Amino acid sequence: MSKLLLHIEGSIVFMTSLYFYAQVGVSWWIFFLFLLIPDLSMLGYIVDNKIGSIIYNIFHSYILPLLLIIISVIIGQDAMLAIGIIWVAHIGMDRTIGYGLKYPSHFKDTHLQKV
C-alpha cells in the first residue's frame, strides 16, 4: 500500500507541476526540452555506484528545485521558475513510474523498492 501511495503522490506532483507550468506562460517546447535534463545526473555512475547514487539523489530530491522556485518567485524570474517547475515535474514523473532515490549498492536499488 505504501508503494502505491508513493506512485500516486508522484503522479499528483507531476500533474500539479503541469498546471503551474501552464500558469507561468513559458513555451511548452521548453518544458519538453528540459524535462529529461536531470537524468544527466546518471553520468555519475561512470565513476562508481556510490558517487553515482549521491549525484543522482541530489538531482532527484525536491530540495534544489524547490529552492530554485522560491528564489525565482522572490526575485521575479519566470525563466528560473519554469526550470524549477520542470525539475519538480521530472521528479514526480520518475516517482510515478517507479524510479526512486538510489542506494549505493546498485542503480536499480531504490527507496521505492524498499517500501
Residue with cell 525539475: 87
Q: Is the pTM of the predicted complex or chain greater than 0.75?
A: yes
**48-75 burial: b if 16+ Cβ within 10 Å, else e:** ebeebbebbbebbeeebbeebbeebeee
100: domain range?
A: 2-114
For 103-115, how does the pLDDT look when each residue is reduced to its tens digit (9 = 90+)? 999 888 888 876 5
For 36-47, how does the pLDDT look when each residue is reduced to its tens digit (9 = 90+)? 999 999 999 999
* Number of domains, the chain: 1
